[in-house]
């Protein structure tokens, strides 16, 4: 635990995690300035901030050199504070120094939110007091002081960049595919940020690593932790693997347990893989795998992640607005049954769409493109794919529904960020949902 009393603390950014960090530090006696370059009307929820926090809004960030500690929000790039700051801890590092329970931390490019919340559900099913936080929405610092047996954290590359001594008892890396290259510059720097999750682990900790992913597998040489390998392409002796519709999981004694996955509420091949990882992580955290697996029959997943919105006239509308990179979009397309009418586009994050194009050209019958990346994506489509362009998500749904035939899936899996037209991926998904629910087949229109 760190004594913050009397320290001068600068919090950068007043989103959810920034407000949480400002309150946390102020309530522990720090002198806190919370800065955001947006105007007050653009921020919202300022009434949640402790009155002892001094706000600096609508102007450039203060000089970090005059503060004992800088706590940047994940969205603030390091170049905004790195040169002048004496000490930088993000909310993950700050929480870790105050949490009195073991930490399970999960990262990866795709699937980490679903896996994190599934691990939470599994640990609870096994009788442990567990709560998930971090990149899933609840600020990490909100867990400090709670009556818990284990804290389950989803951590992003942005959050990992601002860790120092962070040492999870169980760390899991699900996959690494290109994402956020507009922030990290290249895939190597992105992978290095992810690798920080295992860097401080010791021999009595566990690293759950995807050995089907070469970049993740390389992390085994960068940690002192016990490696629990996971594969979905074949056996992983001593670890966990997917085998003919079942998950095989090895516990700390070396005993293996076979868990049927046919009763899962979640659907799709990617969610079976998420389930294998979640069982491996929960088992490494001390849960009985059979009891943990009970969560599979009730866990329904998360909004905007492969969520079935509606079925009408044989057409299924699926919201996967969280598929904000090419890898996630490819998995979304591969995970559905039937021909796909694909809604995609948004803000390009500097990513390569080449591998996604292979999946699209094999599985997609028609595409409706929106946003800034429309022409970039259009250039990737094969000649047999019917192409439409739309100015809004509502127009895209109308166009896609008009193209779709019975048995088709209208799939929102954008492969891009949402910030060209929407507040975030959730707003994009909600507007897709609303449009899908309001759409009426032509024969029913009046």
Bridge-partner residues for 248, per DSSP? 241, 258
Residues 220 and 209 sit within 8 Å (Cβ to Cβ): yes
Residues 23, 112, 175, 184: which is the catalytic one?
112
In SS3 terms, 131-180 reads as EEEECCCCCHHHHCCCCCCEEEEECCHHHHCCCCCCCCCEEEECCCCCCC
Angle of CA points 295, 155, 21, to nearest 5°: 115
List 23, 110, 175, 180, catalytic entry: 180
φ, ψ dihedrals at 104, nearest 5°: -105, 125
Instruction: For residue 56, give the 3-state DSSP assignment.
Output: strand
DSSP string over 351-406: ---HHHHHHHHHHEEEEEEESTTHHHHHTTS-TTSEEEE-SSHHHHHHHHHHH--T
Question: What is the C-alpha separation between 446 and 440, in angstroms, rounded?
Answer: 10
Cα–Cα distance measured from residue 6 to residue 29, given in angstroms and rounded to the nearest whole number: 6
β-strand 256-260 against 246-250: which pairing, if any? antiparallel
By three-state DSSP, how is residue 292 classified?
A: helix
* Residue in 135, 210, 271, 274 annotated catalytic: 135
Task: Say whether 180 is catalytic.
Answer: yes
Note whether 296 and 261 are within 8 A (CB): yes
Cα 271 → chain centroid: 14
List Cα–Cα distances, 61 to 7, 77, 407, in angstroms. Answer: 19, 12, 54
- Judge whether 175 counts as a catalytic residue: no
Query: CA–CA separation, 2 vs 94, rounded Å?
Result: 8
**3-state secondary structure (DSSP) of residue 274:** helix
How far is it, in rounded angstroms, from Cα 81 to Cα 70? 8
Q: At what angle do helices 354-363 and 326-334 cross, to 10 degrees?
A: 20
CA angle 402, 404, 406 (to 5 degrees): 125
- Is residue 304 part of the annotated active site? The answer reads no
Tokens of 54: 């001094």
Q: Is 443 exposed, middle or buried (0-12, 13-18, 19+ CB in 10 A)?
A: exposed
- CA–CA separation, 348 and 182 (whole Å): 9
Give the active site residues: 112, 135, 180
């Amino acid at each position: 635990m760190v004594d913050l009393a009397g320290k001068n603390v600068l919090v950068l950014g007043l989103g959810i995690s920034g407000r949480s960090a400002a309150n946390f530090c102020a309530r522990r006696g720090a002198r806190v300035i919370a800065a955001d370059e947006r105007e007050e009307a653009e921020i919202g929820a300022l009434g949640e901030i402790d009155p002892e926090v001094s706000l600096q809004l609508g102007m450039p960030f203060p000089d970090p050199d005059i503060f004992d500690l800088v706590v940047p929000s994940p969205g603030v790039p390091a170049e905004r504070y790195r040169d002048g700051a004496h000490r930088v801890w993000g909310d993950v590092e700050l929480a870790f120094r105050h949490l009195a329970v073991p930490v399970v931390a999960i990262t990866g490019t795709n699937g980490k939110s679903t896996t994190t919340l599934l691990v939470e559900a599994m640990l609870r099913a096994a009788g442990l007091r567990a709560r998930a936080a971090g990149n899933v929405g609840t600020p990490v610092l909100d867990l400090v002081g709670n009556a818990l047996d284990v804290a389950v954290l989803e951590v992003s590359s942005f959050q990992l960049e601002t860790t120092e001594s962070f040492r999870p008892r169980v760390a899991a890396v699900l996959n690494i595919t290109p994402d956020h290259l507009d922030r990290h510059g290249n895939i190597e720097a992105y992978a290095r940020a992810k690798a920080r999750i295992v860097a401080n682990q010791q021999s009595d900790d566990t690293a759950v690593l995807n050995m089907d992913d070469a970049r993740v597998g390389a992390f085994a040489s960068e940690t002192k932790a016990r490696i629990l390998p996971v594969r979905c392409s074949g056996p992983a002796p001593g670890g966990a693997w997917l085998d003919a519709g079942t998950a095989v999981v090895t516990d700390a004694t070396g005993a293996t347990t076979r868990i049927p996955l046919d009763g899962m509420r979640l659907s799709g091949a990617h969610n079976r893989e998420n389930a294998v990882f979640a069982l491996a992580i929960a088992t490494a955290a001390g849960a009985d795998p059979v009891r943990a697996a009970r969560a599979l029959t009730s866990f329904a997943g998360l909004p905007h992640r492969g969520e079935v919105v509606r079925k009408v006239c044989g057409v299924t509308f699926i919201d996967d607005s969280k598929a904000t990179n090419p890898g996630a979009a490819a998995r979304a397309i591969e995970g559905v049954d039937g021909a796909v009418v694909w809604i995609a586009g948004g803000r390009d994050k500097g990513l390569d769409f080449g591998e996604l194009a292979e999946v699209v050209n094999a599985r997609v019958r028609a595409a409706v493109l929106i946003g800034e990346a429309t022409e970039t994506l259009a250039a990737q489509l094969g000649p047999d794919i019917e192409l439409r362009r739309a100015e809004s998500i509502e127009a895209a749904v109308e166009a896609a529904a008009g193209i779709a035939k019975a048995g088709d899936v209208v799939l929102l899996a954008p492969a891009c960020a949402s910030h060209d037209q929407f507040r975030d991926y959730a707003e994009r998904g909600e507007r897709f949902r609303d449009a899908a629910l309001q759409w009426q087949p032509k024969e029913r229109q009046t």
